Chain A
Amino acid sequence: MAEQMITRDLKVSFGDHQAVKGVDMEIRPRAVTAIIGPSGCGKTTFLRALNRMHDHTPSARVSGEVLLGDRDIYGDGVDPVELRIRVGMVFQRPNPFPTMSIRDNITFAPKRHGLAKGKALDDLVERVLRQAALWDEVKDRLGASAVGLSGGQQQRLCIARALAVEPRVLLMDEPASALDPTATQRIEDLIYELKKDYTIVIVTHNMQQAARVSDYTAFFYMGLLVEFGETDGLFTNPREERTEAYITGRFG
């Protein structure tokens, strides 16, 4: 299921401003890759380039290559809709669809993609809610509005919703930054579970979180990938001075 992603000389600019300035990176399958760096370093912009979310920002320009498996997702004939079935995304703020029930939030995409119907769809709902560790809390009120859930529950619903299209890669943009410590803990546990089956890329400004959940860590600074390596090594023995300055809290 899980697939690797490779970026080659990936650049993203908005108008005159270049936010990502040529990044080469190899994202391993069945592992968690954390992206850290001070605000404005381009980490979210980089993440959003991995499922072509910049297509919908008129001023954004993307160049370079992003390989999913062995195919460039910016190449000719690649359909962004189909790409996003394989590369899912969870956003910074929980954004369940407020006009839909919990169940409909999950079935929205599988129905469009024709992934399942009837009993199979019910099974899918249960499976992803269990994967997201939300099933026991909501199984009796699947028809209720998603707005009634707590912030942490909403975010787990968003993760379940993303899993329901059976992606290979899951991109997470600071998924716990709007949550309290208990909810954060649950999300982190969840990420640990999910990496058995998925390739996960998580952007975070919280270094402890990166150290806790990730296998690999990338440090971004001013639109550049400064250092990339196994999380243990990067935090205990950084090769770059700027990385050390950042992880020891001297800036950012």
Chain B
Amino acid sequence: MSRSVAPLPGRDGRARRHLRQRWFRYATGALALLVVVVVLLIVQQLWVQSRPTWSEWGLGFLVRTTWNPVQGEFGALPFIAGTLLTSLMALLIAVPISIGIAILLSEYAPRRLRDPLIFVVELLAAVPSVVFGLWGIFVLAPLVQQHVMPVVAASPLGLLPFFGEPGPGYTLFTASLILAVMIIPIIASLSREALMAVPRDQKEAALALGATRWEATRHVVLTYARGGIFSAAVLGLGRALGETMATTMTIGNRVNLTLDYFQSGYSMTAIIANELREAASEIHVSSLVAIGLVLFLISFLLNSLGRLLLMRTHTPGT
């Protein structure tokens, strides 16, 4: 050996080189692991803090209807009901509107208009919820009270048990309207992505058979994308359930177990927002956190379901 050549690395050198090559992978991996840990931490925190409530009432807490901090009586049903009622009504309003927007943007809007319109719809998603709440208190609630509820009550819808005598401005109904506005952007943009992922040859096949654009959209594109649209709705529902400020500011904040949208009510998020910082007794805090745990579990399930469906929608349903 006339020239000096670096010796081949021995066992030690190889290990060191391996580490030099790989430290970055391990370092970023450690932080990624932190994300997993955080989720576990969330569950652990919610569980530990809410344990007194579960040991006091067990799962019965979920169907108890009284909420009386003074006497230490707590039950989650009015809040679960309020959250479900407002979120489902919001979904009922938001889904058709969102699908309409998605169809318009993916099938009809000319390219020059499409991007600005997408931009506007996404701006809607950027408005902070507390600003919607502010608008809800001072603009929407009075309007709903004076002009919308009387009209709905007088229409055939007024015969349903869901719409009784028009009440105050701050009701389940007002909260539902605000929630609908707030979840439209997410449902619309996910639905639009689902529609745009439909293979072009599907639409062309329908058009070549003499379908009008609407028929091609309705019978071929929309049915092909139905899985994606369904998961968009599921994710929108998750968003509505967890929405706090706009709901708190417009729902009326009255512990009231009712099906009547024209009455004040309460939501799971609103009771936490209103009482956690002032809760004095351990059982009061733990009952609020217990509601938070239920909220977390519901939204975790909905989000997981939505994401899993979204992953599967690349293969069309049979």
Chain B associates with chain A: yes
- Chain A positions near chain B (C-beta within 8 angstroms): 51, 53, 56, 58, 81-82, 84-85, 88-89, 91, 93, 95-100, 108-109, 112-113, 145, 147-148, 158, 161-162, 165
What chain B residues lie within 8 Å of A100 (beta carbons)?
Answer: 223
User: B317 touching A112 by the CB < 8 A rule?
Assistant: no
Q: How far is the CB of B148 from chain A (nearest CB, A)?
A: 38
User: A99 touching B210 by the CB < 8 A rule?
Assistant: no
User: A53 touching B207 by the CB < 8 A rule?
Assistant: yes
What chain A residues lie within 8 Å of B224 (beta carbons)?
Answer: 97-99
User: A58 touching B110 by the CB < 8 A rule?
Assistant: yes
- CB within 8 Å of A: which of B168-222? 199, 201-212, 215, 219-220
Central interface residue in B199, B203, B210, by most chain A CB within 10 Å: B210
CA distance A109 to B224 in the complex (A): 17
User: B202 touching A95 by the CB < 8 A rule?
Assistant: yes
What chain B residues lie within 8 Å of A51 (beta carbons)?
Answer: 208
User: B202 touching A97 by the CB < 8 A rule?
Assistant: yes
Is B55 interfacial (CB 8 A cutoff)? no
Is B111 interfacial (CB 8 A cutoff)? yes
User: A162 touching B317 by the CB < 8 A rule?
Assistant: no
What chain A residues lie within 8 Å of B111 (beta carbons)?
Answer: 58
Is B72 interfacial (CB 8 A cutoff)? no
User: A81 touching B220 by the CB < 8 A rule?
Assistant: no
Q: List 19 A-B contacts (CB under 8 A).
A: A53-B204, A53-B207, A56-B207, A81-B212, A82-B210, A84-B210, A85-B210, A88-B208, A89-B208, A93-B201, A97-B220, A98-B317, A99-B223, A99-B226, A99-B316, A109-B210, A112-B215, A147-B316, A162-B209
CA distance A84 to B206 in the complex (A): 10
Known: A58-B110, A99-B223. A91 touches B204 (CB 8 A): yes
- By beta carbon, the residue of chain A nearest B111 is A58
What chain B residues lie within 8 Å of A99 (beta carbons)?
Answer: 220, 223-224, 226, 316-317
What chain A residues lie within 8 Å of B199 (beta carbons)?
Answer: 95
User: B316 touching A98 by the CB < 8 A rule?
Assistant: yes
Is B318 interfacial (CB 8 A cutoff)? yes
A98's partner among B207, B208, B211, B318 (CB-CB below 8 A) is B318
- By beta carbon, the residue of chain B nearest A106 is B209
- CB within 8 Å of A: which of B134-167? none
- CB within 8 Å of A: which of B282-318? 316-318
Q: How far is the CB of A86 from chain B (nearest CB, A)?
A: 9
CA distance A81 to B207 in the complex (A): 8
CA distance A147 to B206 in the complex (A): 17
B209's partner among A58, A88, A98, A145 (CB-CB below 8 A) is A88
CA distance A85 to B206 in the complex (A): 11
CA distance A113 to B223 in the complex (A): 20
What chain A residues lie within 8 Å of B203 (beta carbons)?
Answer: 56
Q: How far is the CB of B109 from chain A (nearest CB, A)?
A: 10
Name the 10 nearest CB pairs between A and B, nearest first: A109-B209, A89-B208, A84-B210, A85-B210, A98-B316, A99-B223, A95-B201, A95-B205, A145-B318, A81-B210
What chain B residues lie within 8 Å of A95 (beta carbons)?
Answer: 199, 201-202, 204-205
CA distance A148 to B316 in the complex (A): 12
Q: How far is the CB of B212 from chain A (nearest CB, A)?
A: 6
Q: How far is the CB of A62 from chain B (nearest CB, A)?
A: 16
CA distance A161 to B208 in the complex (A): 10
Q: How far is the CB of A56 from chain B (nearest CB, A)?
A: 7
CA distance A95 to B207 in the complex (A): 12
User: B209 touching A56 by the CB < 8 A rule?
Assistant: no
What chain A residues lie within 8 Å of B205 (beta carbons)?
Answer: 91, 95-97, 158, 161
